[in-house]
Each structure stands twice: as C-alpha cells, then as structure tokens.
Amino acid sequence: MRNNGILFSTDLIVAFIAVSTIALMIVFVYSGYFGAVSDNVKAFSRDREAIFFMDYLVKTSSNELPAIGAAFFDTEKKRVVGNLLDKEALKDYTKEIGQLELEHWVVKGIFLEYENGNKDWIFGGREEGCVIYERFVLMNGAVMEKAKIGAVFCE
Amino acid sequence: MNEDGFHFTFEAAITLLLAISLVAALHFPGPENIDSLLIKQKQHDLLSVWILARNFNAEEMAGDFRFVFPQSQGFIEIDGEKVFIGEQSGEISVETAAFVGEDLKLREIAVGVYR
C-alpha cells in the first residue's frame, strides 16, 4: 500500500518557529541597532565639530577671520602660540560678525569670561536652547589675563 | 499505551536554547559622548597657560583649576608637591607637562581631575 500525505513533526515545527523568530529578531534588532549607531554618529559629528571649532580658535591664527583662529602670532619666533590669544585682533575683526554658520551648528556668539566674573562678548550673545563650549586661555594684551573663551553653538 | 504530549529531540532543545540566549544577549549601543576629550583639552589648556605665564603659585593655580572645573575635584602637582582640591575620589584623568625652568632644570607639573 502506498501512503502519500504530509508528515507532521513537532521538532520541525519548533525549529521552524525558532528560526523564524531568530530571523525576525535579527531584522528588527539590526534595523534598530543601525538606527541607534546612525544617531550616535550624527551626535558625535555635531559634538566633534563644536569641540574642534574651539580647538582651532585657540590653537591657530587667521588674519582674515580671527573668530576661527585667534591664537597670537609671534613675529619674532615666526610661529603661532597656542592658548595665547590676540585680544585686539579678535575684538577688532570680529565685532561686525552676526553669526558663523558651520555644517551642523550656527555660532551665535563668542565671549571672554575672566576670573573676576566679568564677561566680555566679542560678538552676539546668549541664546535659549544653545550649547556653550569653553576653553581656558591667556589673553595677550597690555596686561596678560587668564580667561575662558566660550562660543554659543545653536542648531 | 497511550503517550500524548510533546517529545523534544536534543537538537530541538538546543535550537530553543539558542533562540532564547540570542534574544537575551541583544543590546542597543548606548549614546557615545566625548566628555573625556573635553576634560583632557581643558587640562592641556591649564598646563599650557601655566607654562606660558611662568607663574607657578600653587594658590593661583588652584584658583585657575576651580575656574575651569567649577563642579569637579582634583589635584595639582608642582615638582612632586601635590595641592588637593575637593574630595579625592572616583575615576581620575591625569595630564602632565614638562618644561625647563629659569634654573635650567627640567620641571614637571601635573593636573588631575576626578570624573
């Protein structure tokens, strides 16, 4: 006698359900995982841009736009002195700036804050919902002053 | 004899265990932050400014530390002598800098910040 039909196996059903669950989980989890990674990369890129903007500001010298490089250029030694800021150049050439547009941020203000609590805005001012990054520097002028230079980053 | 119920083979049990362990082991990546880089940059700032200013007054340096890290504790070390600022506990980040003093001897300063 020939017996045609479907053979039912509990093991096969369990394996099918388990493999289907694993496959679905992999799809859901990795879509979520890559979404989270993508969000992290975006947040990291934003933070990195702000941090390195501040690093350039205190370590490099730009004659044309001191708001992106305000370090003092020592003409005798022919080199830029990091963390020593050219106060006059920073004030004279940047007071007309309204804002600086970066890839992820808009810089809406740069200020100097002294240890006695005085705050001196180079341009712009405090904005709601924005982030401030600060660095510690020495201001080169008639009197050397220690100060924090900060920038207001808005999205 | 009537035997109702499920019979699992060893392979089926292994498959189930694998599925459960895979689900249990899943985790999402937490948000990355670069706070440690910010702290290190500010520590370098302190060391650079102190060396540029050539003024190694411990009290003034402690004031600078509090100005830059108002919420943090730490220490300053000048030629092996430590000045402690606040409670000393937690994970610490230490940065050092060496320079040639007016006596032409190599000197070392360090700044530590508890996170």
Q: Is the dihedral of CA B31, B32, B36, B38 positive or negative?
A: negative
Q: Is B9 part of any domain?
A: no
pLDDT tens by residue, B14-71 = 877 887 887 777 666 666 678 889 999 999 999 999 999 988 899 999 999 999 999 9
Chain B residue whose CA is closest to A145: B53
Q: Is B109 part of any domain?
A: yes
> How near does any CA of chain A get to the CA of B4, in Å?
12
* Residue A86: its H or E element: strand A79-86
Q: Is B20 part of any domain?
A: no
Taking CB atoms and an 8 Å limit, are B53 and A146 in contact across chains?
yes
Of B11, B29, B37, Cβ closest to residue A11 = B11
Task: Inform me whether the pLDDT recorded for A53 exceeds 70.
Answer: yes
Residue numbers of the domain that contains B77: 35-114
pLDDT at A63: 76
> How near does any CA of chain A get to the CA of B31, in Å?
6
Domain ranges of chain A: 11-154
Task: Inform me whether the pLDDT recorded for A97 exceeds 70.
Answer: yes
> How near does any CA of chain A get to the CA of B48, in Å?
7
> How near does any CA of chain B get to the CA of A103, in Å?
19
Q: CB distance from B6 to chain A under 8 Å?
A: yes
Q: Is B105 part of any domain?
A: yes
Of A21, A81, A83, Cβ closest to residue B45 = A83
- How confident is the model over A82-91, as a mean pLDDT? 85
* DSSP-assigned letters across all residues of B79-95: TTEEEEES---S-EEEE
Assign A3 a pLDDT band (cuts: 50, 70, 90). Answer: low
Q: In chain B, positions 37-56, which contact chain A (CB-CB < 8 Å)?
A: 37-38, 41-42, 45-46, 48-49, 52-53
Q: How many domains does chain B have?
A: 1
Q: Is B4 part of any domain?
A: no
Q: Which one, of A114, A102, A119, A112, lies nearest residue A68 by Cα?
A: A102
pLDDT tens by residue, A35-49 = 877 888 888 888 999
Residue of B70 and B88 predicted with greater confidence? B70
Strand partners, A138: A84, A146
Q: CB distance from B67 to chain A under 8 Å?
A: yes
Tokens encoding B87: 């409670």
Chain A residue whose CA is closest to B10: A11
pLDDT at A24: 85
A chain contacts of residue B67, beta-carbon cutoff 8 Å: 115, 136, 146, 148
A chain contacts of residue B32, beta-carbon cutoff 8 Å: 40, 43-44
- What is the 8-class DSSP label of residue A71? E
In terms of phi and psi (left: phi > 0; alpha: psi -120 to 50; beta: otherwise), the region of A115 is alpha
Q: CB distance from B10 to chain A under 8 Å?
A: no
Contact assessment for residue A148 and residue A137, using Cβ atoms and an 8 Å cutoff = yes
Of B7, B11, B49, Cβ closest to residue A137 = B49
